[in-house]
């Protein structure tokens, strides 16, 4: 996921006003983390409100949708390419492919979720183009994406308090360590991870390093590791079995949030907008280069998740 500047609170093109009967289709055609955030927001809605919502997703997100099993209606766009649409990957795929994918998205969205207002994260030219003139709403500006989702829900869907899924009690005093991101610069340095695992031990927790199939960790034979299949459902199931998760700035942090498992995020730079909701609200995050502060915050995190 990448940081973004949020657009106006509501798109100026064919803007739909808030209504007790209006229907909304949350469009997720880009990143896995974005979809997980939206699915978590929808999951916590009252049943009557959820009935007015749908998820519209690109084909490359299907496996994650199946793992999340959202309760709302899900519609997969009829796109010929099951990769990330090239319009969101211009550096790797090139402008001609990007233009072609934007046209395909526009055509597919024109027939999706009939009668619903499309909900997108922002209203820049790319989003306006693929919306194709349909009624459109965007997330409000906020310090954090979960807060933006909550504010959108309060304005457009329901003023009733949203009941979040409570944190489940972990059967074991274990902390999962998920060190890797698809962006190598976000990977948690091994020496930092080992120092944080030592803090776990001093607090009575066992650190367990999770490795997806294909991932390699130097010195793994000296560490407590657990290898799991490279599948979203396997990762989500594993994360739900821990007292907490130490994660890179990556999808596992949001999957942990979705599963009700507290997450602490370690990253190379401050990235508060994309933090899991609990990590944002309780300062359960730290920056690689500010280790004293990171260690202090991680210790508070461990104190919080103790049974």
User: CA 252, 257, 261, 266 torsion: positive or negative?
Assistant: positive
Return the pLDDT at 13.
Answer: 33
Strand partners, 176: 208, 245
| pLDDT, mean of residues 52-66 | 96
CATH number of the domain at 174-305, out of 3.40.50.2000, 3.55.40.20, 3.20.20.70, 3.30.1330.60? 3.40.50.2000
173 close to 64: Cβ distance less than 8 angstroms: no
Reference 207, options 110, 106, 298, 101; nearest CA is 298
Cα 100 from chain centroid (whole Å) = 27
Whether the pLDDT of residue 112 is over 70: the answer is yes
Looking from the CA of 139 toward its CB, the CA atoms found within 13 Å total 24
* 8, 12, 307 from 28: Cα distances, Å: 19, 20, 36
DSSP 35-70: HHHHHHHHHTS-HHHHTTEEEEE-GGGHHHHHHH--
Where in the sequence of the chain do the CATH 3.40.50.2000 domains occur? 174-305
pTM: 0.87
Whether the pLDDT of residue 7 is over 60: the answer is no
Mean pLDDT, rounded, of the chain: 89
- CA 118 to CA 110: how far, in whole Å? 10
**CATH code for the structural domain at 24-156:** 3.40.50
Whether the pLDDT of residue 299 is over 50: the answer is yes
Reference 135, options 150, 154, 115; nearest CA is 115
Q: Tens digit of pLDDT for each residue in 162-172?
A: 555 555 555 57
């Amino acid at each position: 996921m990448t940081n973004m500047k949020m657009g106006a609170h509501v798109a100026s093109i064919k803007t739909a006003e808030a209504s007790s009967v209006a229907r909304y289709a949350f469009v997720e055609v880009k990143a896995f983390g974005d979809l997980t955030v939206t699915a978590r927001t929808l999951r916590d809605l009252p049943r009557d409100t959820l009935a007015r919502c749908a998820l519209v997703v690109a084909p490359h997100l299907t496996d994650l949708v199946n793992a999340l099993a959202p309760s709302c209606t899900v519609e997969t766009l009829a796109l010929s390419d099951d990769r990330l649409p090239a319009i969101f990957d211009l550096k790797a795929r090139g402008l001609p492919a990007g233009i072609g994918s934007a046209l395909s998205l526009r055509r597919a969205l024109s027939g999706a979720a009939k009668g619903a207002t499309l909900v997108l994260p922002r209203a820049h030219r790319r989003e306006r183009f693929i919306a194709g003139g349909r009624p459109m709403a965007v997330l409000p500006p906020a310090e954090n994406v979960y807060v933006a989702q909550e504010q959108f829900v309060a304005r457009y869907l329901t003023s009733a308090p949203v009941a979040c899924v409570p944190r489940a009690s972990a059967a074991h005093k274990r902390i999962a360590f998920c060190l890797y991101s698809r962006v190598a610069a976000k990977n948690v340095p091994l020496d930092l991870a080992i120092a944080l695992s030592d803090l776990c031990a001093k607090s009575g927790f066992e650190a367990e390093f999770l490795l997806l199939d294909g991932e390699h960790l130097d010195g793994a034979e000296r560490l407590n590791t657990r290898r799991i299949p490279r599948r979203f459902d396997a990762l989500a199931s594993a994360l739900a079995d821990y007292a907490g998760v130490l994660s890179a700035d990556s999808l596992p942090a949001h999957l942990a949030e979705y599963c009700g498992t507290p997450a602490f995020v370690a990253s190379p730079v401050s990235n508060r907008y994309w933090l899991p909701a609990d990590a944002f609200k309780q300062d359960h995050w730290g920056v690689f280069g500010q280790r004293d502060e990171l260690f202090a915050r991680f210790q508070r995190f461990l104190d919080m998740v103790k049974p």
